[in-house]
């Protein structure tokens, strides 16, 4: 049962990190847009998410939305709540990475005949991604642990499964120790991967020497 719970936790983490990683890009661009009709809704979304706890967002989606006719399965509600939360936070990471790229690179690309869309995809985004890789890796680890909050919408992920088993047999020390070991077995390798990504990112951002240097 615990391994099944770990599988659900891993599935939640994988799905949410991909969805949030993709959705955070247009949110970041909307917040950087000079058009207020784009910027204001994105600002409102990010500030509301950041100003309210994740557990409240999950409860609202699963328990409050049915009162207006929107009913979701527990797993779907968990995915939506976690994705919205991490989209808001990761959009700020993307925004800082994009803002860190010198404006001259964008101007040089445009002067060479590249359109704004192609300039962003080929010049700005790859460099910004290298800058934000370490932060995104840390969010991956945080998300893996935050999936435990999905238990409030009755998703039987690893932590909730441990609670159910412990409540049945009262072997709290054994069950929660095994649960902690399973979290560590996935979380620690993820942390090592993030370290490698940080090292790769720092090397790729170092200016290359010229041949005559």
The DSSP code for 122 is I
Q: What is the pLDDT along the chain (213 residues), one digit of tens a residue?
A: 888 889 999 999 999 999 999 999 999 999 988 888 989 999 999 999 999 999 999 999 999 999 998 999 999 999 999 999 999 999 999 988 888 888 777 778 777 777 777 777 777 877 788 888 878 888 988 999 999 999 888 888 888 888 888 888 888 898 889 989 999 988 888 888 878 877 776 665 555 334 344
> Closest by alpha carbon to 161, among 9, 16, 13?
9
Q: Give CATH superfamily name and number for 2-205.
A: MetI-like (1.10.3720.10)
Contacts 24+ apart (CB under 8 A), 50-59: 50/88, 50/89, 54/81, 54/82, 54/85, 54/146, 54/149, 55/149, 55/152, 57/81, 57/84, 57/85, 58/82, 58/149, 58/150, 58/152, 58/153, 59/152, 59/153
Domain boundaries, the chain: 2-205
C-alpha 51/C-alpha 16 separation (Å) is 20
Say if residue 55 is exposed, middle or buried (CB neighbours under 10 Å; 0-12, 13-18, 19+).
middle
* Residue in the block written with tokens 């445009």: 110
C-alpha 125/C-alpha 137 separation (Å) is 17
């Amino acid at each position: 049962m615990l391994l099944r719970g770990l599988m659900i936790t891993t599935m939640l983490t994988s799905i949410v990190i991909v969805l949030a990683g993709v959705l955070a890009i247009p949110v970041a661009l909307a917040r950087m847009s000079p058009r207020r009709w784009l910027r204001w809704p994105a600002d409102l979304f990010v500030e509301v998410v950041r100003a309210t706890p994740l557990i409240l967002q999950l409860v609202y989606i699963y328990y409050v939305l049915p009162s207006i006719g929107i009913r979701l399965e527990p797993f779907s509600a968990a995915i939506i709540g976690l994705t919205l939360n991490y989209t808001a936070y990761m959009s700020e990471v993307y925004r800082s990475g994009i803002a860190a790229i010198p404006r001259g690179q964008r101007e040089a690309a445009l002067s060479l005949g590249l359109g704004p869309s192609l300039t962003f995809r080929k010049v700005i985004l790859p460099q910004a991604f290298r800058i934000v890789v370490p932060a995104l890796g840390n969010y991956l680890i945080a998300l893996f642990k935050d999936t435990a909050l999905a238990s409030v919408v009755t998703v039987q992920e690893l932590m909730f499964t441990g609670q159910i088993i412990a409540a049945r047999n009262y072997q709290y020390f054994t069950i929660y120790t095994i649960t902690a070991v399973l979290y560590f077995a996935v979380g620690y390798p993820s942390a090592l991967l993030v370290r490698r990504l940080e090292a790769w990112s720092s090397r790729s951002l170092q200016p290359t020497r010229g041949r005559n240097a």
